[in-house]
């Protein structure tokens, strides 16, 4: 009875929430449940859709292409996670030491801009920049004495490194802004006390700034971990036949199975394996970094 009274008392707020709940039910939860059912079917657009049990999941797990894609996903994802965690911290700490306000603002704007662009723009830009014929990267290398241009986008040796580098480059500015916002919120009295005690600038960074960024670091790690197995846009735009074997990730596998080969049941099963793996990795990371401890 008390619960009903509380609902009635705040009925306006609950009515305002109904469209939001309807949206998520219609466009999130229903497709998720429907997709889970399809993963157990031999799905066809027309005709019967017989249930095949776990056959679709077994077919995915027996497919060597899936495990190759899984390996590529882990290598590229973990590389992007580690480097994408360290570099924004270094950039934020460096910008925090800059005394010129206009230079700091211009640098923040420049490093943040790539985050606003889609992978179609960023990928196309880097493909041109890494071109062996007219790309600026090879032109610089040739100017420094390289014997011949390097085919970054056609060499399996460089393929994964290029994907990791471009991923970090695109998102580094956004993560850097998060760290800068956290640095600004640190109590200046802590630095003044450290200076009075004779602490060097590096000691102040080590014992005040970095510990104060711990909660922000945890949030960044969790956000990046959630995206490890869901890479698609970047790979779809930047891959080609020469490097596909080294860069195709799980989402590319589901795209090929579902869209190109029209094996909807197998593609959906692969998608749910990604969801299950993401849940496991997320909870493991949450436990390891002690996310709930603040």
For CA atoms 182, 184, 189, 193, the dihedral sign is positive
Of 9-13, 50-54, 82-86, 167-171, the least confident = 9-13
pLDDT at position 196 is 84
pLDDT tens by residue, 147-193: 888 888 888 889 999 999 999 999 998 999 999 888 888 888 888 88
Of 85-89, 96-100, 139-143, 224-228, the least confident = 96-100
Average pLDDT over residues 55-72: 92
Q: What are phi and psi of 118, to 5 degrees?
A: -75, 165
Per-residue pLDDT band at 1 (split at 50, 70, 90): low
Q: What are phi and psi of 51, to 5 degrees?
A: -75, 135
Give the separation between CA 64 and CA 249, rounded to whole angstroms: 13
Tell whether the model's pLDDT for residue 73 goes beyond 60: yes
User: What percent of the chain is helix, strand and coil (3-state, nearest 5)?
Assistant: 80, 0, 20
pLDDT at position 253 is 92
CB atoms within 10 A of CB 220: 21
Q: Are 182 and 212 in contact (CB under 8 A)?
A: yes
pLDDT at position 3 is 67
pLDDT at position 58 is 92
Q: Are 122 and 114 in contact (CB under 8 A)?
A: yes
pLDDT at position 160 is 92
Nearest Cα to Cα of residue 168 among 91, 274, 237, 242:
91
Tell whether the model's pLDDT for residue 294 goes beyond 60: no
Average pLDDT over residues 133-160: 87
pLDDT tens by residue, 195-247: 888 888 888 888 888 888 888 888 889 888 888 888 889 999 999 888 989 99
Tell whether the model's pLDDT for residue 6 goes beyond 80: no
Count of all residues that appear for the chain in the document: 294
Give the separation between CA 57 and CA 66, rounded to whole angstroms: 11
Listing DSSP states for 94-138 in one string gives HHHH---HHHHHHHHHHHHHHHHS-HHHHHHHHHHHT-TTT-HHH
Give the separation between CA 166 and CA 247, rounded to whole angstroms: 13
First to last CA, the chain: 37
């Amino acid at each position: 009875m008390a619960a009903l009274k509380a609902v009635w008392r705040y009925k306006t707020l609950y009515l305002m929430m109904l469209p939001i709940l309807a949206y998520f039910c219609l466009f999130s939860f229903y497709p998720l449940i429907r997709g889970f059912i399809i993963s157990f079917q031999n799905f066809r657009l027309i005709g019967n859709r017989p249930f095949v049990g776990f056959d679709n999941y077994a077919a995915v797990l027996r497919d060597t292409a899936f495990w190759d894609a899984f390996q590529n996903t882990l290598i590229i994802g973990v590389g992007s996670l580690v480097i994408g965690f360290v570099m924004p911290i270094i950039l934020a700490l460096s910008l925090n030491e800059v005394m010129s306000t206009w230079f700091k603002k211009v640098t923040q704007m420049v490093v943040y801009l790539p985050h606003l662009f889609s992978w179609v723009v960023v990928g196309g830009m880097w493909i041109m920049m890494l071109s062996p014929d007219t790309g600026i990267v090879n032109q610089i290398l040739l100017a420094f004495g390289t014997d011949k241009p390097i085919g970054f986008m056609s060499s399996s040796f460089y393929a994964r490194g290029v994907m990791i580098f471009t991923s970090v480059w695109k998102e580094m500015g956004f993560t850097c802004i998060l760290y800068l916002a956290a640095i600004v919120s640190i109590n200046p009295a802590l630095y003044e006390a450290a200076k009075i005690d004779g602490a060097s600038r590096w000691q102040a960074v080590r014992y005040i700034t970095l510990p104060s960024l711990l909660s922000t670091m945890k949030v960044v790690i969790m956000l990046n971990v959630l995206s490890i197995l869901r890479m698609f846009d970047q790979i779809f735009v930047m891959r080609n036949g020469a490097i596909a074997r080294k860069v195709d990730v799980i989402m590319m596998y589901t795209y090929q199975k579902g869209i190109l080969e029209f094996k909807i049941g197998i593609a959906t099963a692969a998608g749910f394996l990604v969801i299950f793996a993401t849940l496991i990795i997320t909870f493991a990371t949450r436990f390891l970094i002690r996310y709930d401890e603040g």
